[in-house]
Amino acid sequence: MRKIDKNYNTLLSTRYKTWVETLEANGSQHPLSRTYYDDVAMELYKCQQGVCAYTERWICPQELYANDIWVDGKYLNDESAEFQRVDHAGEMDHFDPNLKKDKYWLWSNLFMIDAKINGIKSNEQPSSFLKPDLDDYAPEKYFDYDEVTHKFIPNTELPDKTRAEIQIMIDNVLFLNHGVVKNDRRDFINSVKFKQKYGMTPVIDRFFTAVRWCIKLQ
């Protein structure tokens, strides 16, 4: 689960930005309006490079969040385009579900994650120190990777209590080792290694953290 840069100052969705800033300035409760759902979702995908914020599984084609789709500060997907705005496999996750009632559209609390993972995760909240856009977040501080089983494990140098907490996060909240995710990750890493072995240049467009650690081990 890699670090994600969600620079608020570079948002292309300036209409959403103005709208939510006005709500915050007025101390208003965020409405459940979906007017800016696509704007926020595609901005998040742009930050996340089209992968789930937690599992790093690929869930959105790059063509859906290309810069030229934003017009006058609004996301405007051309309905004649090859990829439609529904052609992704993610759902919006509120990292802290307690903020949904009053600050539903707060940029810092939002990520796009695999719809399957979101369905089984429900309203379970990851530990606050695992929020991937924190300035001091780094996956190696909390996780290790077992290249034999292709499972994420807690960093073995952490105290027992912290490792136990992270194991719960891996298994029951972030689902980093969910069967389908684990197998997809294993197959992708093996494909990268195969291409490198035979002098081909692999395209690394998902599972960035695990690939980086496994390739470094070679």
d(CA 214, CA 145): 8
The residue type of 116 is K
* Residues of the chain with confidence (pLDDT) below 70: 79-83, 216-218
What integer pLDDT is reported at residue 121 of this predicted model? 87
Predicted local distance difference test score (pLDDT) of residue 82? 66
Q: Is residue 27 part of a domain?
A: yes
From 92, 124, 156, give the residue that closes a domain.
124
**What is the spatial distance between Cα 179 and Cα 213, in angstroms, rounded to a whole number?**
20
Please state, as a whole number, how many other Cβ atoms lie within 10 Å of the Cβ of residue 28. 12
On whether both 96 and 71 belong to a single domain, the answer is: yes
> Residue 191: phi, psi to the nearest 5?
-65, -40
pLDDT of residue 83: 67
DSSP code at position 94:
E
Q: Are residues 17 and 108 in the same domain?
A: yes
Cα–Cα nearest to 115, from 187, 178, 191, 39: 178
Does the residue 1 lie in any domain? Answer: no
Q: Please tell me the predicted confidence (pLDDT) of residue 183.
A: 98
Q: Are residues 115 and 149 in the same domain?
A: no
User: Do 15 and 102 belong together in one domain?
Assistant: yes
Decide if 3 is inside a domain. no
Residue at 131 is within a domain:
no
Question: Is residue 15 in a domain?
Answer: yes
Q: What is the pLDDT of residue 217?
A: 54
Q: Which domain holds residue 210?
A: 139-217
In a domain, 32, yes or no: yes
Looking at the structure, do residues 13 and 119 belong to the same domain, yes or no? yes
**Rounded to an integer, what distance in angstroms lies between the CA atom of residue 55 and that of residue 76?**
28
Phi and psi angles of residue 114, each rounded to the nearest 5 degrees, phi first: -55, 130
Pair (108, 36) in one structural domain: yes
Q: Let me know whether 18 and 109 are in one domain.
A: yes
161-170: list long-range contacts, CB under 8 Å, 24+ apart: 165/127, 166/127, 166/130, 166/142, 169/126, 169/127, 169/130, 170/143
| 146, 94: one domain | no
Q: pTM surpassing 0.75?
A: yes
Among candidates 131, 146, 16, 18, which has minimal Cα distance to 70? 16
101, 148: one domain:
no
Per the structure, how many domains does the chain have?
Answer: 2
Each residue's pLDDT tens digit, 68-88:
999 999 999 876 566 677 789
DSSP string, 21-39: HHHHHTTPPPP---TTHHH
Q: Are residues 91 and 171 in the same domain?
A: no
Kindly report the number of other CB atoms within 10 A of residue 147's CB atom. Answer: 14
pLDDT at 84 (0 to 100): 73
- pLDDT value of position 77: 81
Same domain, 67 and 145: no
- The residue out of 77, 96, 124 marking a domain boundary is 124
Flag whether 130 is in a domain: no
Residues 158 and 113 in one domain: no
Of 124, 159, 179, the domain-final residue? 124
